[in-house]
Amino acid sequence: MVRKILLFLLIVFIGLQFVPVELNQSENISENDFIAVTNPPKEIETLLKTSCYDCHSNNTNYPWYDRIAPISWWIKDHIDEGKEELNFSEWNTYSQKRKNHKIKEIIEETEEGKMPLESYLITHGDAILSITQTEQLKNWLHTIKAE
């Protein structure tokens, strides 16, 4: 009986691999992209791409395990939620009031260690923000914020 259950679960797992998940990848960089619009220093650009852009832009760099269902569904959900909250690829479509609010939220979330998400950092150690990086990001963000 146990063998039949395991065989059934294996068949279901294999079948799930054929359910496609739309990937969050784009060939071009939008003229509305945060980096294109704000032209940050190289270290800030690298920090944003490494720690933020996978979930908060229209272009995610996927790891190998992201093609495995149901992990792929979970990651897609995180990306969809992240982009709904803040999409750096659509930055210049935001009103100035919304941009300022998002800058404030970025500063708060990174200072409080809420972003990047811990679940993301488990497999993306290079996305961990040091205190110095958080401070550099905060200081630079203050320079682009319109009062």
Mean pLDDT in residue range 51-63: 93
- Give residue-wise pLDDT tens across range 134-143: 999 999 999 9
**Greater pLDDT, 13 or 46:** 46
**Greater pLDDT, 23 or 78:** 78
Average pLDDT over the chain, rounded to an integer? 90
Distance CA 20, CA 121 (A): 25
pLDDT the model gives residue 38: 95
Distance CA 97, CA 104 (A): 11
Could you give the count of Cα atoms lying within 13 Å of 28 in the half-sphere of its Cβ? Answer: 3
Q: Which long-range contacts does 121-125 make (Cβ < 8 Å, 24+ apart)?
A: 123/63, 123/65, 124/50, 124/54
Q: What is the pTM of this model?
A: 0.84
Q: Taking 90 as the threshold, does the pLDDT of residue 113 lie above it?
A: yes
pLDDT the model gives residue 146: 62
DSSP 122: T
Distance CA 41, CA 147 (A): 21
Mean pLDDT in residue range 56-63: 91
Distance CA 49, CA 53 (A): 5
To the nearest 10°, report the CA torsion of 100, 30, 60, 67.
140
Provide the strand spans (E) within the chain.
none
- In which band, very low, low, confident or very high, does the pLDDT at 27 lie, cut at 50, 70 and 90? confident
Q: Domain extents for the chain?
A: 23-144
Report the residue count for the chain: 147
Q: Which long-range contacts does 13-19 make (Cβ < 8 Å, 24+ apart)?
A: 13/69, 16/69, 16/70, 17/68, 17/69, 19/69
